[in-house]
């Protein structure tokens, strides 16, 4: 077992769980996409996650505190060139603006992990989301050629450059987090080398919705990663904070959003919450986002590392491949199934 996409091959979906709605020709929200409006998608606007300057000399401490209290933060001075973010945004827009028939040429295959389609978690909910995605692991060349027989090069160059720079940023953040947890980097020696991690890039599109209060952009979920770095320029993302409720993560100029996933929650022995988040359809326009998922190599065995004396581990050791498989099979029960 060597890559993330090979792990997902073992958990095929059926096409109904992959093919998005034809958003080009839809004027109303069909029953299949109408969610019960239980909480009106409201958020508690008295709170917001912190914004941290990565060049601050106290960055490790600030990041650690944000991870403990919120499981999420925004980061500025992250070193990702702003023109690269602009280029990513414009390539994402170019992709999702293609006619549906064209996008379907790059449809994710039932046993596949990459390409165009619904979010994997769709299969666990009885309503569909107002969402279409495009998943990239490594080079997007094959799928890009299906979308654009000629104009695929720019897309590939931009996405590969972005993945490389995102992995560098992720390593920097990981080092700060390990420093905060007072964990020796040796136990995580794969962090040291570029290309040592398992990574994936998810392009998300939330088309303009005729009835936003009945549609769900992305249903509540936690990410299967150590952490995820998200680029967004439109509101809609909300995180659930214990005792507070849903809190909106409003775009901050030039900032990236970082949220803790299941794997860092395990590694930190639950000191960091793996934050539940969702996307609601607030603004009357199409929304795009780009998520970078950062995980250890799939054969890496993960267990609570940062134990202070007297603390007992809450989770047993699990390989990344085994955990990803559990999550693919049974979304909500993956974490509890490895609880000691």
Ligand X SMILES: C=C1C[C@]23C[C@H]1CC[C@H]2[C@@]12CCC[C@@](C)(C(=O)O1)[C@H]2[C@@H]3C(=O)O
Task: Confirm whether 287 is a catalytic residue.
Answer: yes
Question: Any residues with CB less than 8 A from the CB of 297 and at least 6 apart, and which?
Answer: 190, 196, 197, 198, 320
Q: Could you give the count of Cα atoms lying within 13 Å of 33 in the half-sphere of its Cβ?
A: 26
Site string for ligand AKG, 276-315 (x = CB under 6 A): -x-x---------x-x------------------------
Among 201, 218, 247, 324, binds ligand AKG (CB under 6 A): 218
Q: Considering the complex, state which of residue 8 and residue 70 has its C-beta at the smaller distance from ligand X.
A: 8
CB of 290 to ligand X, least distance (A): 11
Q: Considering the complex, state which of residue 167 and residue 223 has its C-beta at the smaller distance from ligand AKG.
A: 223
* From 108, 271, 278, 287, the catalytic residue: 287
Partner whose binding site includes residue 289, from ligand X, ligand AKG, Fe ion, none (CB under 5 to 8 Å by kind): ligand AKG
- Cα distances from 262 to residues 122, 137, 152, in angstroms, run 19, 19, 34
CB of 93 to Fe ion, least distance (A): 20
318-340 burial, b at 16+ Cβ within 10 Å, e below that, comes to bbbbbbbbbbbeebeebbeebee
Question: Any residues with CB less than 8 A from the CB of 266 and at least 6 apart, and which?
Answer: 302, 303, 304, 315, 318, 323, 335, 338
Look-up: residue for tokens 């979304």? 331
Among 17, 135, 176, 204, binds ligand AKG (CB under 6 A): 204
Residues that bind ligand X (CB under 6 A): 4, 119-121, 135, 200, 202, 221, 223-225, 293, 327
CB of 78 to ligand AKG, least distance (A): 17
CB of 302 to Fe ion, least distance (A): 19
Residue with the CB atom nearest Fe ion in the bound state: 223
Look-up: residue for tokens 């199409």? 286
Pairing of strands 51-53, 72-76: parallel
Alpha carbon distance 37, 29 (integer Å): 13
CB of 132 to Fe ion, least distance (A): 15
Beta bridge partners of 199: 294
Q: Is 232 in the site for ligand AKG (CB under 6 A)?
A: yes
Site string for ligand AKG, 67-106 (x = CB under 6 A): ----------------------------------------
280: left (phi over 0), alpha (psi -120 to 50) or beta: beta
Q: Is 262 in the site for Fe ion (CB under 5 A)?
A: no
Hey, is 216 helix, strand or coil? strand
Q: Considering the complex, state which of residue 75 and residue 136 has its C-beta at the smaller distance from ligand X.
A: 136
- DSSP state for residue 29 in the 8-state scheme: -
CB of 176 to ligand AKG, least distance (A): 22
Nearest to 297 by CA among 315, 279, 320, 326: 320
Residues at the site binding ligand AKG, with contacts judged by CB under 6 A: 202, 204, 218, 223, 230, 232, 237, 277, 279, 289, 291
Catalytic annotation, residues: 287
Residues at the site binding Fe ion, with contacts judged by CB under 5 A: 223
């Amino acid at each position: 077992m060597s890559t993330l996409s090979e792990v997902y091959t073992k958990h095929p979906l059926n096409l109904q769980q992959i093919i998005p709605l034809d958003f080009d020709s839809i004027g109303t929200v069909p029953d299949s996409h109408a969610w019960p409006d239980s909480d009106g998608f409201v958020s508690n606007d008295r709170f917001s996650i912190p914004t941290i300057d990565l060049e601050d000399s106290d960055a490790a401490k600030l990041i650690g505190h944000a991870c403990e209290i919120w499981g999420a933060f925004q980061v500025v001075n992250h070193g990702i060139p702003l023109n690269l973010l602009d280029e990513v945004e414009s390539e994402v827009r170019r992709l999702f603006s293609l006619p549906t028939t064209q996008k379907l040429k790059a449809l994710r295959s039932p046993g596949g992990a990459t390409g165009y389609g619904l979010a994997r978690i769709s299969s666990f909910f009885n309503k569909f989301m107002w969402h279409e995605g495009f998943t990239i692991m490594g080079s997007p060349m094959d799928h890009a050629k299906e979308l654009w027989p000629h104009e695929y090069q720019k897309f590939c160059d931009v996405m590969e450059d972005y993945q490389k720079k995102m992995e560098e940023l992720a390593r920097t953040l990981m080092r700060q987090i390990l420093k905060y947890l007072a964990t020796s980097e040796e136990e995580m020696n794969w962090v040291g080398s570029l290309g040592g991690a398992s990574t994936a890039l998810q392009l998300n599109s939330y088309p303009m919705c005729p009835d936003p209060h009945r549609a769900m952009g992305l249903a509540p979920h936690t990410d299967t990663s150590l952490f995820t770095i998200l680029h967004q320029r439109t509101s809609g993302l909300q995180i659930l904070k214990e005792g507070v409720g849903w809190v909106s993560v409003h775009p901050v100029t030039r900032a990236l959003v970082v949220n803790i996933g299941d794997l860092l929650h395990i590694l930190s022995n639950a000191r960091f919450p793996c934050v539940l988040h969702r996307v609601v359809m607030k603004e009357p326009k199409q929304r795009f986002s780009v998520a970078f998922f950062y995980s250890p190599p799939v054969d890496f065995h993960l267990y609570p590392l940062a134990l202070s004396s007297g603390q007992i581990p809450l989770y047993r050791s699990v390989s990344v491949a085994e955990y990803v498989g559990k999550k693919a099979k049974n979304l909500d029960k993956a974490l509890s199934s490895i609880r000691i």
